[in-house]
């Protein structure tokens, strides 16, 4: 039995993963990750790292983060508590959707995850208080490869659903995109 329904949004490489929930009188079971089943969606590497985040207040933004090659990573993002607007920005230099973004609602209730391939920046905005997120990464974090895009960048014009109430100093100071930004080559 396949525990995932995979769909392809408008940006090549991104995948929306609907996790099937098995429910009975005791509660539910949902599979968060399965290498065998997700290989058809493009996840072909081992999971190198799993991170769990908590964001306390509605309106907070985390991101837009990415790891520069050769430390580029795939991510599979799931919301375990609350609700977020999750955003992926295509930064693959040779992609026909270079610098296009895709946003989707992830929540504890909708059982949706997003599979983000290498060559994308990722961020999210909390739509409720007390949000918990789970990230599966194909590569371990590398401080020297850490990069980011500014969530306020007018060039990207991301439609954050609610006013931004909180963001880290580091995320606020990521540069805006200009002519010198060439993206990444994988």
Task: Note if 65 is an active site residue.
Answer: yes
Task: Note if 176 is an active site residue.
Answer: no
Asked whether the CA dihedral 94, 44, 9, 79 is positive or negative, the reply is: negative
In the block, which residue shows the tokens 């995850």? 113
Is the peptide bond prior to 64 cis by the omega test (within 30 degrees of 0)? Answer: yes
The count of other CB atoms within 10 Å of the CB of residue 100 is 14
Within 8 A by CB and 6+ apart from 152, the residues are 164, 172, 176
Asked whether the CA dihedral 77, 137, 103, 117 is positive or negative, the reply is: negative
> Which residue in the list 71, 100, 135, 141 is annotated as catalytic?
135
**Tokens coding 65:** 């983060």
> Which residue in the list 65, 122, 137, 174 is annotated as catalytic?
65
**Tokens coding 47:** 């999971």
Catalytic residue IDs: 65, 135
């Amino acid at each position: 039995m396949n525990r995932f329904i995979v769909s392809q949004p408008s940006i090549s490489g991104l995948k929306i993963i609907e996790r099937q929930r098995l429910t009975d009188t005791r509660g539910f079971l949902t599979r968060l990750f399965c290498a065998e089943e997700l290989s058809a969606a493009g996840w072909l590497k081992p999971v190198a790292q799993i991170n769990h985040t908590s964001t306390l207040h509605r309106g907070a933004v985390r991101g837009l983060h990415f790891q520069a090659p050769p430390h580029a990573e795939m991510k599979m993002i799931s919301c375990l508590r609350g609700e977020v607007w999750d955003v992926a920005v295509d930064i693959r230099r040779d992609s026909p959707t270079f610098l296009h973004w895709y946003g989707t609602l992830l929540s504890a209730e909708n059982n949706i995850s997003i599979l983000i391939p290498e060559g994308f920046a990722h961020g999210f905005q909390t739509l409720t208080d007390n949000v918990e997120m789970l990230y599966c990464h194909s590569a371990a974090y590398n401080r020297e490869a850490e990069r980011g895009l500014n969530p306020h960048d007018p060039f990207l014009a991301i439609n954050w659903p609610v006013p931004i109430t909180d963001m880290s100093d580091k995320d606020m100071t990521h540069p805006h995109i200009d002519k010198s930004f060439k993206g990444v080559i994988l």
